[in-house]
Structure 1
Amino acid sequence: MKKDRKVQRIAKTRSELFEQPLSRKVHRTISLAIVVLLAFVTTARGAALELYPTDFGTASAGQAAMAEDASTAASNPAGMTLLDRSQLTTSPGALLPSTNFDVAPQTTTSGGGGGNAGVFFPLGSFFYVHKLSEQLRLGVAVFSDYGLGGDYGKTWVGRYYATEESLISGKVDPTIAYEVNNWLSVGAGFSFGVARLTFQSKINNALPRVPDGGLSLESWDEAFGGNVGILLRPISKLRIGLTYKSPEDYKFGFRPHLTGLGPGLDFIRKKIGGVKVNVPLTEPQQVMASAVYEVLPNFSLMGDVGWQNWSAFGEFPVGISAANQRTVTANLHFSDTCHIAIGQQFRIGEKWLWSAGFAYDSAPVSTANRNAVLPIDRQLRYGTGILYEINHNITAGTAWELMDAGPGPYSNRRGPLAGTLQGHYSTNFLNFVALNVIWKF
């Protein structure tokens, strides 16, 4: 009798999952592509984990109008015309996250909260501006503006949604700037980016004594984009910067790697073993307006207002390369986001410059549409930093920023194998630390 019930359970599982019309089978396969996308969004976190490579302690406030060092090659190339000499700026650092998930009673899968799922993530940037003439500057920026890693562990209650994920990205931006007159400068550049995406999750084998199986995905891709900027100086104490960054399209392609499938699900390997999932992902376009005003000779205020087109990012075509080619449009119901920041810089004597700032980014997805691997919420950034002028040519300093990524509550129900997952993040903080060196020559 027990053996008969086991056979019936296996048959029922097979029937529920795969003995369906062709269109249902295709949609099951497409769900793997959706998992891939959600894994990417987790690592990138949309606006939540945009890494501002030019932030030296102001929480990004004034980024398009600061133009005080070579990092302006990335934030607003037009600002390069304000640099009186050729300049090299480097900023090595690290991201130190603290991400802890609290399980809600409605969760149906056994397991724990996963501990601190945050993963140490090294950061680094390099900026160079060459003074070609009094009006013309050439620049290059090497940096990462998106990236994160997460590891929830193999016994996490959400292991059938995700266990590990990471996104590593890097960009090279050659730029050029021209000073039209004493109050207007213009600049432009193009961007070449490379990204590596990895994802792992467990698969419920549906039998009590059969260990979980596994799913892993990995893909590399490159993308191109561009940016333009202008810098206005209507009066000597005021700078206004306006920038536009184009969308950048990555086309990740995956062949799912399945391991440890039990007798009831091993036929899945035959169903999707030759399938390739193609997911085009777009880093959204954005517009930023910044201002810096010199209140006193040793004290300045700055601020930002920005917009990012995350609603376009949330709707995309998913391609399935198999015997029957299929393309389906998925929609994660993203919304465009806004960015607001305010900061200050205070010069202490002739050698020291202290910076501080605060920034707010709205959530690109609502609580109703948030997913287990999509815990994006509103973000609050608090930053401070100090620079010291060692001599006429070299300045060095350090910066720290705390980002509160919000509680990210969600409730997911994804079928009998993955179960119901509900909860929120009791801690969802990210610490950015950096060392800054500016060399003028």
Structure 2
Amino acid sequence: MSRTVCKTIALAIAMFMTYVGSARGAGLELYETGYLGTASAGRAALASDASTAGTNPAGMTLLDRTQLMTAPGALLPSTNFDVAPQTTTSGGGGGNAGVFFPIGSFYYVNKISERVRFGVSIFSDYGLGGDYGKTWVGRYYATEESLITGKVDPSIAYEVNDWLSVGTGVSFGVGRLTFQSKINNALPRVSDGGLSFESWDEAFGANVGILLRPIAKLRIGLTYQSPEDYKFGFRPHITGLGPGLGHLRRRIGGVKANIPLTEPQQVMLSGVYEVLPKWSLMADVGWQNWSAFGSFPVGISSAKQTTTVDANLHFSDTCHVAIGQQFRFDEKWLWSAGFAYDSSPVSKANRSAVLPLDRQLRYGTGLQYDINNSVTAGASWELMDAGPGPYSNRRGPLAGTLQGHYSTNWLNFAALNIIWKF
């Protein structure tokens, strides 16, 4: 291999390994699909409406009629970075870096027979984004990025006997990954250059679930969701480089990068217990395989050579616990509330500036009203506190040192829902 090709590949690897942590940081597993009122507590065991097709397909056997459920809503984030004195780059905190996202889901369950149900779920449970603007202190790390996904999940369930139901589904997802950052030209009178890329890909997965009813007042649900692998490939778009970095465009412009991004596999165990005829308690424990998300191969290819580098962002598996309750305080009204905790998938030393997740605390509540025997409407809200997310990194003289934490790091989810029974 010629010296020029070697230099090109080496430069490309160094460049993409610099930005790959942020590019992968766009991935976030979300429980906020369907009804938000219990903050995910009991999600694998509730089986109270058609959204069980997406959370535990085995629960579809508890629906006595065909059902359709829609849940439109919005994600309203507040993400404000406080700059620490150790930061070496000039600029501001970036303001509210949170990006408004419309959210929504659709679920349909068809009662084929007394023991068999068929369901279809359309939702997004993976992705997020951030936009810090062009003048914030971390602009040489990232200024804007997003991962937007959508998923279609057909499923089927079978009631084995009075106390056991089983279900399974397959999913097809489509994802769009975008990333932008500035490049420091290192000349006082030369403005910053820019790096950006965009990529689309699809992924397939599967899920299985069981639902146990050992006694009349208790339901236990157990689900497994397989990993779903996106393979984003792109050619970088580089603009505005000064005379000192002009060679970067020539060497990197023809290079293609391939970055795999995995929605991690997960296991969820849920229980719902009817304490009183109008009052139920529920809980979850869960596990997500984020360590696999943080270890991946990066492919770099030029016209004459292809190289693969193994990367490790030192992610850790996470645990999830949740508790909640539902109280029917009137014949037509149901009130829900819940709390959930998820451990942090990444330490301070490896945290992404654009996805500043720390431990996560979720607080949810909601109301549902039975309009008649066939239609139920509701509204729910959830606050996710993603923690202070202290961040510290050094990436050489051009990118500089970036340190700080987040004074606000909240995601507000609000949704309406309507259920039709046929």
Give the aligned partner of residue 421 of structure 1. 402
The within-5 A match list for 1:376-415 is 376-415=357-396
Is 1:118 the counterpart of 2:101 in the alignment? no
Instruction: Describe the superposition over 1:278-323 as per-residue Cα deviations: whole angstroms up to 9, x where unpaired.
Output: 0111111000000000000000000000000000110000001112
* Contact kept in structure 2, 1:388 and 1:397, CA below 8 Å: yes
Is 1:34 the counterpart of 2:14 in the alignment? no
Instruction: Describe the superposition over 1:370-420 as per-residue Cα deviations: whole angstroms up to 9, x where unpaired.
Output: 233342210000000000000000000100000000011011100111011
Instruction: Describe the superposition over 1:51-71 as per-residue Cα deviations: whole angstroms up to 9, x where unpaired.
Output: 431343100000000000000
The within-5 A match list for 1:116-265 is 116-265=96-245
Distance in 2 (alpha carbons) for counterparts of 1:240 and 1:107: 50
C-alpha spacing 1:82/1:261, structure 2 compared with 1 (3 Å): same
The AA in structure 2 aligned to 1:347 is R
CA-CA distance at 1:21 after TM superposition:
9.2
Q: What is the aligned length? A: 419
SS in 1 for 2:349: helix
Is 1:103 the counterpart of 2:83 in the alignment? yes
* Contact kept in structure 2, 1:38 and 1:374, CA below 8 Å: no
The within-5 A match list for 1:262-411 is 262-322=242-302, 323-411=304-392
The AA in structure 2 aligned to 1:194 is V
C-alpha spacing 1:31/1:350, structure 2 compared with 1 (3 Å): farther
SS in 1 for 2:244: coil
CA-CA distance at 1:35 after TM superposition:
5.0
The AA in structure 2 aligned to 1:353 is L
Distance in 2 (alpha carbons) for counterparts of 1:66 and 1:333: 35
The AA in structure 2 aligned to 1:113 is G
CA-CA distance at 1:25 after TM superposition:
5.2
The AA in structure 1 aligned to 2:38 is T
TM-score of the pair, normalised by structure 2: 0.97
The AA in structure 1 aligned to 2:152 is V
C-alpha spacing 1:393/1:201, structure 2 compared with 1 (3 Å): same
TM-score of the pair, normalised by structure 1: 0.93
SS in 2 for 1:266: helix
* Contact kept in structure 1, 2:104 and 2:123, CA below 8 Å: yes
CA-CA distance at 1:22 after TM superposition:
6.9
* Contact kept in structure 2, 1:371 and 1:411, CA below 8 Å: no
CA-CA distance at 1:366 after TM superposition:
1.1
CA-CA distance at 1:170 after TM superposition:
0.2
The AA in structure 2 aligned to 1:290 is S
CA-CA distance at 1:36 after TM superposition:
5.1
C-alpha spacing 1:40/1:132, structure 2 compared with 1 (3 Å): farther
Distance in 1 (alpha carbons) for counterparts of 2:18 and 2:54: 32
Instruction: Describe the superposition over 1:59-103 as per-residue Cα deviations: whole angstroms up to 9, x where unpaired.
Output: 000000000000000000000000000000000000000000000
C-alpha spacing 1:35/1:71, structure 2 compared with 1 (3 Å): farther
SS in 2 for 1:181: coil
SS in 2 for 1:34: helix
The AA in structure 2 aligned to 1:389 is D
Flag structure 2 segments of 5+ consecutive residues without an equivalent. none
* Contact kept in structure 2, 1:51 and 1:144, CA below 8 Å: no
Distance in 1 (alpha carbons) for counterparts of 2:20 and 2:283: 33
The within-5 A match list for 1:17-28 is 26-28=9-11
CA-CA distance at 1:266 after TM superposition:
1.1
Distance in 2 (alpha carbons) for counterparts of 1:33 and 1:125: 35
Instruction: Describe the superposition over 1:328-385 as per-residue Cα deviations: whole angstroms up to 9, x where unpaired.
Output: 1000000000000000000011100000000000000111222333422100000000
Distance in 2 (alpha carbons) for counterparts of 1:79 and 1:104: 49
Give the aligned partner of residue 13 of structure 1. none
* Contact kept in structure 2, 1:54 and 1:63, CA below 8 Å: no
Instruction: Describe the superposition over 1:143-164 as per-residue Cα deviations: whole angstroms up to 9, x where unpaired.
Output: 0002222110111000000111
The AA in structure 2 aligned to 1:34 is M
Distance in 1 (alpha carbons) for counterparts of 2:25 and 2:314: 15
SS in 2 for 1:307: strand
Is 1:57 the counterpart of 2:33 in the alignment? no
SS in 2 for 1:349: coil
The AA in structure 2 aligned to 1:356 is A
The AA in structure 1 aligned to 2:26 is T
Instruction: Describe the superposition over 1:19-62 as per-residue Cα deviations: whole angstroms up to 9, x where unpaired.
Output: x9976753431244335543344332x34xx2431343100000
* Contact kept in structure 2, 1:51 and 1:147, CA below 8 Å: no
* Contact kept in structure 1, 2:286 and 2:321, CA below 8 Å: yes
* Contact kept in structure 2, 1:396 and 1:437, CA below 8 Å: yes
Q: Percent identity?
A: 76
Give the aligned partner of residue 413 of structure 2. 432
Instruction: Describe the superposition over 1:99-131 as per-residue Cα deviations: whole angstroms up to 9, x where unpaired.
Output: 000000000000000000111100010000000
SS in 2 for 1:80: helix
SS in 2 for 1:269: helix
* Contact kept in structure 2, 1:109 and 1:419, CA below 8 Å: yes
RMSD of aligned C-alpha atoms? 1.4
SS in 1 for 2:251: helix
